[in-house]
Amino acid sequence: MKHLLYILPYLNLGGTEKHALSLIKHFKQYYHISLLAPEGNGAAPFKQEGTNYLPFLNLEKNIWQGLSEFRAGIRKIHSDRPIDLIHVHAGHELMLLVKLFLPKNIPIVFTVHGYHGEGAMVSYRLSGLFSNWVASKVIAVCEAEARILRAVGLDSKKLNLIYNGVPAPSVDLQKTQEYADKFHLDLNSQIIIGTAARLNPAKGLTYLIQAFAQLIKQHSNLVLIIAGTGELEQELKQQTQDLNIHNQVIFTGYINDLPNLLELFDIFVLPSLQEACSLACAEAMTQNKAVVGSNVGGISEQVIDGETGFIVEPKDVDHLAKKLQILIGNPELRTKFAQAGYLRYQDIFNIEKMLDKTARVYSSTI
């Protein structure tokens, strides 16, 4: 059995970790799996898989200690059982450390999960540069990401497009009802608009709250559910207070059984300012939800405007409110979008296709 090492720059509660975990769950049938990543609040599911896991300190906290622990960890993993393939996620700088601390002939697959913030293009350029130096194969999770990587000079022969895939949901209707009771929802009279995202600037949640404040003036039966945690939590809660809509907005915190909560939504909204291929959006599509998303990254590859949902321009509060207004007043259109979105999920974003294409990358690389 070949030895496959996954390396992540963090283990939090985001899409990168969910993506990597789904790979580990599947490929542990075919490979001996090891994991090298910093400790984080998302580490528990990886440990539950019985993965050979060694931590190193996040390089941003203390680069010298992090480098030392990374070096010791990767050499121990290789010494205990020679590594046949390394799959690095998100942290392009980690590819260089692999080449620095291990024999040069071990192939590396690198997945780009999208970069956020003002320095995003610098990160894309470095990803392209480092990949040309040391990666055997590079995976882009949507065509928008692939275009950026080609534009920054990545060798197109190394590039593979593999859309993020999610499994069919497992919904426990009793737990769904428990969420409805917990948040005092009346499913017969209320229309529930929801989202699931990290509460950070890149997700554009402030614009969703502003749009919701416009809508609530005309529709008193609306509820907005925001699932997730992040550094903007208190700021966003204060915004709902300032707009006097706090009684209609529910912040759930992190939800580890998201399908049970998503089942309550009538409309799913992804107002991101930067995004690659959203797992939350794909999960909403699996559950027959009409989706409204912003025209950034891979969202417009997931949502076909006017067919499976609506695409709006980022930061455009009026445009977002207008499209939500259409769906609020037209349950038949919500159903039409939901059904078409589910078919699109089955065709492009199901997990079996992602796993099959990833398996081909692995087998052609080792």
Q: Provide the residue ranges of all domains of the chain, joining segments of one domain with +.
A: 3-165+350-365, 173-349
Q: Are strands 191-196 and 222-227 parallel, antiparallel or unpaired?
A: parallel
- DSSP code at position 263: T
Closest Cα partner for 191 from 336, 345, 326?
326
For position 103, what pLDDT does the model report? 82
For position 117, what pLDDT does the model report? 82
Mean pLDDT of 224-244: 97
* Burial tier of 50 (Cβ tally within 10 Å: 0-12, 13-18, 19+): exposed
pLDDT of 262 higher than 90: yes
pLDDT of 15 higher than 90: no
pLDDT of 118 higher than 90: no
pLDDT band at 231 (very low <50, low <70, confident <90, very high): very high
Q: What is the CA radius of gyration of the chain?
A: 21
What is the Cα–Cα distance from 192 to 336, expressed in whole angstroms?
A: 17
For position 152, what pLDDT does the model report? 96
3-165+350-365 folds as Rossmann fold (3.40.50)
* Beta-sheet strands, E only, within 66-179: 85-89, 108-112, 137-140, 159-161
What is the Cα–Cα distance from 263 to 180, expressed in whole angstroms?
A: 10
pLDDT of 268 higher than 90: yes
What is the Cα–Cα distance from 228 to 248, expressed in whole angstroms?
A: 17
Structure tokens at 66: 């992090």
> What are the tens digits of pLDDT across the range 133-165?
999 999 999 999 999 999 999 999 999 999 999
**Main-chain dihedrals φ then ψ at residue 257, nearest 5 degrees:** -125, 60
Mean pLDDT of 297-312: 96
Cα 347 to Cα 49, 296, 303, 357: the distances in Å are: 29, 22, 13, 14
For position 222, what pLDDT does the model report? 97
* Burial tier of 323 (Cβ tally within 10 Å: 0-12, 13-18, 19+): buried
Q: What is the mean pLDDT of the chain?
A: 95
Mean pLDDT of 207-225: 96
Closest Cα partner for 9 from 93, 65, 72?
93
pLDDT > 90: percent of the chain: 94
Structure tokens at 207: 């614009």
For position 59, what pLDDT does the model report? 93
Q: Which residue matches tokens 């995976």?
A: 139
- DSSP code at position 156: G
What is the Cα–Cα distance from 39 to 302, expressed in whole angstroms?
A: 32
For position 253, what pLDDT does the model report? 95
What is the Cα–Cα distance from 276 to 262, expressed in whole angstroms?
A: 21
Mean pLDDT of 91-104: 93
For position 104, what pLDDT does the model report? 81
Give the H/E segment covering residue 177: helix 173-182
What is the Cα–Cα distance from 232 to 179, expressed in whole angstroms?
A: 23
pLDDT of 174 higher than 90: yes
Closest Cα partner for 9 from 107, 104, 127?
127
Mean pLDDT of 33-47: 93
Which CATH code for domain 173-349? Answer: 3.40.50.2000
Structure tokens at 217: 């003036």
Q: Are strands 3-7 and 267-270 parallel, antiparallel or unpaired?
A: unpaired
Cα 24 to Cα 4, 36, 140, 282: the distances in Å are: 9, 13, 18, 20
For position 4, what pLDDT does the model report? 98
Q: Same CATH topology for 3-165+350-365 and 173-349?
A: yes
